[in-house]
Chain A
Amino acid sequence: MKTRLRGFDYVNMVVLVLVSVICIYPLWNILAVSLSDGIYAAASKVYLIPKGLNVETYKYVLHNPRLGVSQGLWNSFAYTVVGTLVAVILTFLTAYPLSKKRLVGRKTIMLIFVFTFVFEAGIIPNFIVYKSLGLVNSFWVMIIPNAINTFLLIIMRSFLDALPEELEESAYIDGANDLQTMWKIYFPLARPAIATVCVFYSVAIWNQYLVPAIYLQKQSLKPITVVLYNLIVSGSKDGTSLESIKVHGVQLLPQNLQAAAIFLSVAPILIVYPFAQKYFTKGMLIGSVKG
């Protein structure tokens, strides 16, 4: 394609690069502030490059149990790993039978899933049920209740549905039962869908805020999102914000400490982002075609 509007291309690219900068700058600035000496951060002199570069803030934030950051990070990590594992297994186990056309009642069951997806009971009835099940202040409230997401169930089922039926038949001829067929034939073949669903669940669990805010009052159970809220938002709401301290000749101000806490809670996502982006795109496209 030849172009006549050369000017448009430049303007367009400048606009898009600006938009990209808006997307990434807040986080970049947070990183720069967290690595700066508090003297500069207080005067808002840090824009792009850290001034008075040091990692004392991170050492302080991670080694101070009172702030709860390292505990929160560890909790989030545990919730994410265990929660993803449970959710992926449960989703696969549910999707597999529902992908078989010979299963009597599969349409009805699927319909109920979709119905409960569209019509949710809401916070209060959920609370009563979770409470009766002993999930308040329990590790498992982060793992069990949201272990099946209808959208991801549909993605998984569509994927299994698309695999040829002949696979199953040949397995039966070899004398395998449904369990063996699922485990030895379909499970390995479903790897792309499993990876997609894995990424979706883990990002969702890591970012979860409402459930832990409601159900986890014990400090030792709080994930990083709730810890972050307490450090930044409620601190500034009731005026009892973090205090400033001097460590190894570096001034640490609330701004630095908050910035470090924010960056630490995003860091794991930054690490998995390249994979996450790929699988999210895939999942969205599967979901949109066959939803």
Chain B
Amino acid sequence: MHTALKGKSPGARSNVWHKMWRSRLLYLILLPGLIHMLLFKLLPLFGLVIAFEDYNVIKGGINSIIDSKWVGFAHFEKFLGDAYFWKLLKNTLLLAFFNLLFVFPIPIIFALLVNEVRFRKVQRFVQTVTFFPYFISSAVAVSILYTFLSPQGGLVNMALQGLGVEPIFFMAEPGWFRPLYIMLNVWQLFGYSSIIYLAAMTNIDPHLYEAAELDGATRFGKMFHITLPSIAGTIVIMFILAIGQIMTVDLDKILMMYNPSIYDTADVIQSYVYRQAFATKGFPNYSYGAAVGLMQSVVAFILVISANRASKKFSDSQIF
């Protein structure tokens, strides 16, 4: 189009409307994406106002959002005064903390070990195989867990029996929920997460290792004094990302793993919100659920923003 070409010359009219008119086809191309964002990303945000009203479930739909009675912060006050909310918060934070404690460092240690392997073929094999669980759905991962831990003929319980231990119904024991959830997370994620560290390691200048060798450095010496410091920047970025996502739980996994007998440790804010809306037998409490969910989103949002700030401060990199 000749009009588009004219835009490149400095003398052209720099009127914004004119500029937009010239790229009208681009806007047309963008339109479906914008509509999609409006409907599925922004409209639900508007829907959050139900957290401040008594949303009428029976009528349902978007219209009744406007009709519903405004109650202000009543729901927020209600759950802040509810002992169960503090239990949910405790469960969420504990799960987040243990998750970070294990899911974050294991890929780094794993990458360091893989990096030390001299045979390319072994390296590739290990990477290919350990990456695989990432592609498995939580549904499959949890299903496998159930069959392995089953008290009737599950491999783990059979092994325990061989050692003279009574069968344990792992999936119904509150004490087992956190270790199992975190183990499953580590199993699914460590191979995938290690890729970024391994990529960072391939960029390390080999001269550094040669120089260290001349100085008489050992294998471990090189690992600690060259490899680790060289990937420190990547570690910092990944850590900040992990902090930003600390409140995010794998809801699929929790919903599939839990049952009323382990709510004591397994019920987190998000699973509670889910139950408020979909699994309660009586009258679903949308407004209360939405208020609890909003509270969680706000905390998560603050964490992401602060993490991004921190990354700007401590390293040059920021996530957005």
Residues of A within 8 A of B (CB): 1-5, 8-9, 12-13, 15-17, 19-20, 22-24, 26-27, 29-30, 33, 41-44, 47, 90-91, 93-94, 96-98, 100, 102-104, 109, 112-114, 116, 118-129, 131-133, 144-148, 169, 172-173, 175-179, 182, 203, 206-210, 213-214, 224-226, 228-229, 232-233, 236-237, 255, 258-259, 261-262, 265-266, 269, 273, 276-277, 280-281, 284-285, 288, 291
Contacts and interface: CB of A to CB of B under 8 A. Distances in A.
22 contacts: A1-B209, A12-B116, A13-B117, A20-B130, A23-B191, A26-B148, A90-B33, A103-B27, A104-B19, A104-B20, A112-B42, A123-B277, A125-B293, A144-B36, A172-B2, A172-B5, A207-B137, A224-B139, A228-B143, A236-B150, A262-B147, A284-B196
**Dominant SS among interface residues on chain A:** helix
B219 A123 contact: no
Interface in B204-239: 209-210, 213, 218-219, 237
A91 B19 CA distance: 24
A124 B290 contact: yes
A288 B286 contact: no
A120 B320 contact: no
A213 to B, nearest CB: 7
Contacts of A131: 60-61
A43 B286 CA distance: 47
Contacts of A214: 278
Contacts of A13: 117, 119, 122
A42 B37 CA distance: 51
B252 A129 contact: no
**Dominant SS among interface residues on chain B:** helix
A3 B137 CA distance: 41
Contacts of B134: 280
A233 B144 CA distance: 10
Interface stretch (B45-53, B86-94, B96-104): B45-53
Interface residues of B, number: 105
Contacts of B122: 13, 16-17
A228 B29 contact: no
Nearest to B61: A132
Contact of B29 (A97, A120, A125): A97
A173 B209 CA distance: 53
Contact of B146 (A24, A47, A208, A232): A232
The residue in A43, A173, A232, A291 that gathers the most chain B C-beta atoms within 10 A of its C-beta is A232
Interface string B1-23: 11011011000000010011011
Interface of B: 1-2, 4-5, 7-8, 16, 19-20, 22-23, 25-27, 29-30, 32-34, 36-37, 39-48, 50, 60-62, 65, 110, 113-114, 116-119, 122, 125-126, 128-140, 142-144, 146-148, 150, 153-155, 158, 171, 187, 191-192, 195-196, 199, 209-210, 213, 218-219, 237, 251-252, 255-256, 259, 270, 273-274, 276-278, 286, 289-290, 293-294, 296-297, 301, 304, 319-320
Contacts of A125: 44-48, 50, 290, 293
B141 to A, nearest CB: 9
What 10 pairs across the A-B complex have the smallest Cβ distances?
Answer: A94-B33, A125-B47, A207-B137, A121-B44, A122-B293, A116-B41, A225-B139, A178-B25, A125-B44, A97-B26
Contact of B277 (A12, A97, A112, A127): A127
A114 B40 CA distance: 14
Given A131-B60, A131-B61, A109 B132 contact: no
Given A97-B27, A178-B23, A225-B139, A124 B277 contact: yes
B293 A265 contact: no
B293 A132 contact: no
Contacts of A175: 1
Given A13-B117, A178-B26, A207 B128 contact: no
Contacts of A213: 255
Contact of A148 (B26, B36, B50): B36
B39 A133 contact: yes
Contacts of A288: 196, 237
Contact of A277 (B29, B131, B133): B131
A97 B30 contact: yes
Given A100-B26, A118-B304, A129 B126 contact: no
